[in-house]
Structure 1
Amino acid sequence: MRTDFVANISHELKTPVGALSLLAEALADSDDPDVVTRLSGKIVKEAERLALAIEDLLELSRIELGGDSNRHELAVVGILEDAADRVRGLAERRHIRLEIQDKDSALSVVGDRRQLVSAIGNLVDNAVKYSEMDSIVRLGVCLNGDRVTFSVSDSGMGIASQHLDRIFERFYRVDRARSRDTGGVGLGLAIVRHVAANHGGEVKVTSQEGEGSTFMLSIPVSRASVAESQTDNPVSAAG
């Protein structure tokens, strides 16, 4: 499996590096201002793609190392807000509204803020990239038994059923051509799966082609926040 991983990441890194080399050669051979402008734009795009690939690879490596040293009590609404902020610039450029629901939730979890924000941020990033312009991406959170479930929903193109069992695999991409346009290398959802597992949870997806997708990441709720909620609402706690 490690051999396959190295082969895949080598391919993903070689592709933009090769493109950068060819574009740089073409740029050096041209003195046409229009050509220079066009090639410069392509160089920037390939450089960004390379940077994203390296960033995802480093993030996945950090998460796989695990460890509990950065785990703290975290408000779930704060996690959603931080994740949305990471993608807000892209959402604004695509005229997509990020709507955070359940803003009054007092629930909390014990976890690594960096990992959780990265995971939810990846889900929001995908939702924005694969949604139509002028649409809405909804972020929510709710309590299901002893677990907090974060959800990210869009009304985009959706995912065909034959892909749903594999989309959390490393480097698996439903539409490779579209992924290249959006800069993805197929590690984002693998990162989400690892973060969920590191927090004793899981990630699921429901999707319908042409109607959108909902991704749900569930992890154990903080006992302290449940106890506080029951203290604040004794009637509800009593059933």
Structure 2
Amino acid sequence: MEWGYAVGLVPAALAVGVGAGLTIARLRRPAPGETEGVGSPEGRAAIEPDDDRPAGKHGLRGLGRKSLDSLRVGVVVLDADDYPVLVNPAARAMGLLRSGGAPGTIAAHPILRTLAGQVRRTGVRREVELDLPRGRAGGAQAPLGLHLRAVALNATHVAVEAADVTEAHRLARVRRDFVANVSHELKTPIGALQLLAEALLDATQLPDSAPEAQSEDLLAARRFAERIHHESARMGRLVSELLELTRLQGAEPLPNPEPVSLDWVIAEVLDRTRTTSSAKNIEVTYSGPKGLMAYGSDSQFATAVTNLVENAIAYSGPDTKVELTVRQNDDWIEIDVADQGIGISPQDVDRIFERFYRADQARSRATGGTGLGLAIVKHIATNHGGRVDVTSALGDGSTFTLRLPARPPESPSPSPTAIEIESGVTGR
């Protein structure tokens, strides 16, 4: 995609442009009364030479500035006080600048200041993808989709790259709406199909006094009815999980984070998986301290852990064990789900969180899986600012680790549609 190509150009351009600017020039704020700064109509950054050294026979300073100005990706450099000391035209066109508190002054968008503050506190780059409203409130103009990446240039200055992903967001919304609408329409006929299959099963009960020829016909009809019932139930689960995944991908706003008791989550998971584990004589055990709390949605946490446990049961043999372990690590709650199953090959590890991906197609058909369970886990973890990891080896079982926040968020998220994409997810 075009924006992805543009993002790929940014590190090289920053190396030439920002690096040259910080080495050869001293970034400064405009002096009082000075208007020819970063927010002027000419769009020039307020740059003052650090000394009398020439920029070089190739005009490195000018080359760096031209490189930044030619990018379709926006670049904003913020100083220790979050003042924009360097802005290219693309960033200005995206509306990443605001009027300052005093007349004739400018300020960076609050989201940029938030990202810069996080980078300075943690020393780790931050990436988010979000929608920003355009025009006046209530206008019909579609929001501007942005991929923001904030990196530290030195102890004080932070560079924020912004790529326009509006078209990608629009297509994603169209796809989600289509999936949601189709899934809603499918629920009614699938429900009717399940009821008819159950009625057919009742009607094909084999009477004790039935002739042998009639018994064979009834047995065949019953086998078909059982298959219809099984496949309709599987389709019903697929539709339900498609709807759940659509909601998690942004079709509905995320609920406000609330304290969630991990004791309740574990009890709910054990109750939901009791039937499937008993059918294979698999023991599901739990170990960990009592009274731990996570912050987010209780129903989504229970769904994520249930999916991990059901996945472990599905890919484990009879008479084995699935171990649930919960622990707190600094500001995070970590939930391990370890099984004694078939394990995962190295070539499949990076793909198992993709929608509909099956490492073993034959086994997936046998277990009745939809291929969406782990994708749902990934999106639940990502939407809460957490992550999901896996360690596995063929024939030696797998361990999934779900990481969830153990502290309330420091401040409201920048935008109700913001989606953290740097989740650190590694695949099964």
TM range (shorter): 0.7 to 0.9
Distance 1:50 1:116 in 2: 24
* Equivalent residues in 2 for 1:32-51, closer than 5 Å: 32-51=217-236
- Structure with max Cα Rg: 2
Counterpart amino acid of residue 73 in structure 1: P
Kept in 1: contact 2:283–2:322 (CA 8 A): yes
Equivalent residue for 2:263, pick from 64, 70, 77 = 77
Distance 2:316 2:295 in 1: 32
Cα–Cα, structure 1 residues 4 and 165, in superposed 2: closer, same or farther, change >3 Å?
A: farther
* Equivalent residues in 2 for 1:146-161, closer than 5 Å: 146-161=331-346
Q: Does 1:222 align with 2:411?
A: no
Distance 1:222 1:150 in 2: 16
CA RMSD of the aligned region, Å? 2.7
Distance 2:224 2:315 in 1: 26
* Equivalent residues in 2 for 1:120-159, closer than 5 Å: 120-159=305-344
Distance 2:343 2:292 in 1: 30
Alignment size in residue pairs: 207
Distance 2:255 2:405 in 1: 18
Deviation at 1:70, TM superposition (A): 5.2
Partner of residue 98, structure 1: 284
**RCO (CA 8 Å, sep 6+): is it higher in 1 or 2?**
1
TM-score (norm 1): 0.79
Kept in 1: contact 2:323–2:338 (CA 8 A): yes
Deviation at 1:83, TM superposition (A): 1.6
Distance 2:240 2:256 in 1: 20
Deviation at 1:69, TM superposition (A): 3.0
Distance 1:193 1:68 in 2: 15
Structure 1 gap ranges (5+): 224-239
Deviation at 1:107, TM superposition (A): 1.5
Structure 2 gap ranges (5+): 1-170, 202-212, 409-428
- The structure where helix makes up a greater share of residues is 1
Distance 1:139 1:63 in 2: 24
* Equivalent residues in 2 for 1:1-239, closer than 5 Å: 32-65=217-250, 67-69=253-255, 71-102=257-288, 104-222=289-407
Kept in 1: contact 2:295–2:404 (CA 8 A): no
Distance 1:202 1:112 in 2: 15
Deviation beyond 2 Å, 4+ runs, structure 1: 1-7, 65-71
Deviation at 1:105, TM superposition (A): 2.5
Kept in 2: contact 1:159–1:209 (CA 8 A): yes
Distance 1:74 1:163 in 2: 33
Which whole-Å deviations, capped at 9, do the CAs of 1:161-191 have from their partners, x for residues lacking one? 1111111111111011211221212111110
